Amino acid sequence: MTYDLVATLSPLLTAEASAEAYAAGSEPGDLEQAVWLRLLERLERDGPPPDPEGWLRKAVRAEARRSRRTTRREHPYGIEPADDTRPGPEQLAVTAARHRALREAVRRLPGRCPRLIEALLSPQDLTYREIAGELGISQGSLGPERSRCLGCLRRLLAPEVAAREARG
């Protein structure tokens, strides 16, 4: 009997939900699912309605009204909290601590290394030519000097950085 009722009401429900969905601000499929759920609840509680087609039309309109009320009350987030990729306060604090440790280590470097590394880390994104001019060295010696300074920096930071796990 339930199968016959579903087969009989299905085309009518599709047509009614399609007609009401746009004005309700919802999808026809969502209205259909809600009405099928109401029908199952009704069948379990009271049995089949005496006038299934009339009941279905009223149920579609009732679900459309419920959908309109819900749409009016709900306000979308500007950014979904779960999708927010901005760093949180903990991450900002950790990042700031890492930057402080790096800057302190750079200041402890020997010779021209502090000025060279500061120039490389500059937010102005200086070119090698600009860095060489600022430091008063040839552009060709900048690469080897940078390698030497980064090696010193690596040795200074090694005790502060946890050892990496073996790979493979």
Residue 112 Cα distances to 118, 149, 156, 158, angstroms: 10, 8, 16, 21
- Separation CA 35–CA 50 (nearest Å): 17
Tokens of 121: 């880390």
Confidence at residue 29, expressed as pLDDT on a 0 to 100 scale: 92
The per-residue pLDDT for range 52-85, each reduced to its tens digit, is: 999 999 999 999 999 888 888 877 766 666 666 7
- pLDDT interval class at 34 (50, 70, 90): very high
Domains along the sequence of the chain with CATH: 2-73 (no CATH), 91-157 (1.10.10)
pLDDT average, residue stretch 112-138: 89
- Separation CA 98–CA 90 (nearest Å): 12
- pLDDT interval class at 10 (50, 70, 90): very high
